Structures are given as structure tokens and as C-alpha cells.
Structure 1
């Protein structure tokens, strides 16, 4: 299997290459690009490729511009940090998508899907217009309150009261601004799709936080960020933004 990788962050690029070779030792990385310009050159100069992994946000713009400037007949797996709503379009209009930071099991799923299509001689070329449309701001109504059951009583929580959501073993808990905990009958993935993305950010796999709950932000090792939330999290639960999502997080704060 011959592969292109379009990724502008060197650590993410190296990590993807390492995982690819661990899962498929016979995989050949025949081209790597870190910008729209170098990716266009790559596609124009080498057509003997089976699969391309393509990050959406590159240093010089969104990778969709590549499709406007050159023909891409290669199946594409997008790597992205976009919300769950837009991800549905990636799943339908490309081979697959990988949510950053990429997990080995997700990469294996995408490769398995590609192998099935390849063996059946089925080709999928990305419908870029459909993906771009899905990424545009939607006239969507976001959840404003949650009805929570506490024993024999019900409590209505408005989203302004919720500082952050976190996983506690197998439960998802809403932590309010006055430091009370309420069980929520939704996963963090589902909550991410329900809540206003201008106010709530998926910090990592354990935390979904409201912007007003972020008390301070600190540089952490290897390009990560460490957040201090209010109310405070337990001492054994550090709130860390991965290197791959750090830039996205900063852009979210700066919008």
C-alpha cells in the first residue's frame, strides 16, 4: 500500500507514520506534504498512490483548496478536529475520517474500510462541496437546559449553570458553577453536538468545558496546554489539551 500524508504538524505527521507502519508493516510512505502548495506538487508528480491521509487545517489554508487546483483521484482519509455535525459529512463523502488525536484503533478501522473497497474495485473520491457545506455555520438550536433526575426529584439545569462535563468512571457528570455534580444521560460526544460550540469546547476525551470555567492556561510539556478549571477538578484529574488540539483551542478562545 502506497500512501501520501498531508499534515503540517511534524509531531502528528511522525505519529501517523509510526502507527501506519505498526499496523501495516508493508506500507510505503511515498510522499509527505505540509502545505497546500507542496501537496499540489505531490499529487501532480506522483499518481502511483493508493491512499492519502489529509489534514483539513494546513499552515497556508484549508486542504480543500488542493482539490480546486489539481485533480485528486486518490481515496482520501481526512484527519480533523471538527465537531460531530460536520464529521457526518466526512464519513459519507470520503473513505473515512480520523478525529485528532488519532487513536490506533480508529486508524485500523479506516484501513480496514479502504481494504474492503480496494478489493471490491470500488472507488470513492471526496465530494468536497458537500463537506464544505456541512462545515458552514448551521441555523441550529442548541440545548439550553437539561432535566436531571435525583432520586425521586427532578432538577432543571440551564447550560449557563454548568461549568463543565466530565466522565466519572462510566458516568458523565455535569459540574455546576457552584460545584455540584449531576449525572447526565448523554455521552460527551453527544453533548458536544448538542451544545453551542462558541461556548463549549471538547478539551479532551474526559472533559467538555464552558469558556467561563477556564480560570487559567499554562504551557505544558511537548506543546500541550494545561488548564485550571473553576470549580477545581480532583488532584488526580489533570485537564490537558493535546499538542494536536492546542492550536485549535487557542483559535477557539480568540474567535
Structure 2
């Protein structure tokens, strides 16, 4: 099994290579690249590897830029310190998304997914079987557990359970925590809605996605609509259409 490692920190690349050898003795690391430019060049001048282990934040950009410059038919296991790219990762050839520091058992599980994906299946072409397996993996991807947000000159991690609601304002998306802190997000509400667990969050209208724990009161409103009070409080009414009212009440446990 030929493997390409894309990692911009040499020490981490060596550690990953060592971990890979322990997890899959048959693995042969054919190259280690550390940037978008170097990876594109390598892929353009070499046969596609069987598997790619790919970091996301590279020396000259994000690894997603690679897919815009060259076709990568190989399955990808993403290895990164950030979880906010998981949804985007599964839109490409990803079969798994591992958060650093990577543990041996997690890598072994990811490699087993790879073996299952490429296993020959009677009556199907190899590529068709691989794509089918990838689609299943994409559909079963976990929901977001935290956000990385900017606070002045630094970045901090916000646990999903600490978010009271997410909302749009002046064409930007924001989250507000239960302790009433507001942070900007780099995603549209439609994309955020797909990445959040429906057990914890509900898209009540075009502007708001609420955590069930933020709902302080629910009032009947005009034309069978609902008005919701949340904590921390907002400066505007949060109104739920009558089309969504029953689903919302059921979600709240009616």
C-alpha cells in the first residue's frame, strides 16, 4: 500500500510515518510533502498513491486548495488539530477525519475503513464500490462538537454545549454563548444547520438556530405562529412560522 503524507511540520510527519508503520506494516510512504505547491507538483508527476494522509493547515494555505489545482483519485484521511473543517473534508475524497494528537487505535480504525472501501466486491467495478463506501462514510460523519473562533489576536475553542444560539445579522453569522459572549463565524446559517446535531439545535427561522437550553419561554403569536424568548435575551422578536410551530414544540418535548 503506497501512502503519501502531506504535513508541514517535519517532526509530526515523522511521528505519523512511525505510527503508520506500527498500524499497517505493509504501508510504504512514497513521499512527504509540506505545502500546497509541493503536493500539487508531486501529484502531477507521480502515479496516484493508494492513500493520502493529509493535514489541512499547510505552510502556504489549506490543503483544500490542492483539490482545485489537481485531481486526486486517492482516498484521503485528514489529520488536523482543528475540527471545524470536518464537514468540508467529507465533501472531497475523505474516508476519515482524525484530530491531533493522533492515537494509534484511531489510525487503525481509519485504515480499516480504507480497507473496507477498497475491498473488491463481486459484480461491481472497483471505483463504483469505493465511491459507494465513501458516500456511506460521509453520511455517517459526526456532528460538530466545537468551534474555533477569534478573540482579538488569538483564537479560542467554544464547546458546542456552551452555545445558546447562532444567528445572522447584516449578512454575517454569529454565535452567542450562555455567558452572553458573541463571536463571528465564517459559515452561512445553511451550512451551520447541516453541521449541528438536531437533538441539540433547531433552525427556527432564517435568522436563528436555537439550542434547546436557551429557550426561556414560548408564546402563542398571530396566525398560529410562536414567539420565543431566549436567554441571553435578544433585541428582536424570534418568531416561528406556523409551518414550523408543531415541529418546534415536538422538538422541545411537547
Q: TM-score w.r.t. structure 1 length?
A: 0.49
Q: Which has the higher contact order (CA 8 A, sep 6+)?
A: 1
Greater Rg by CA: 2
TM, length-normalised to structure 2:
0.49
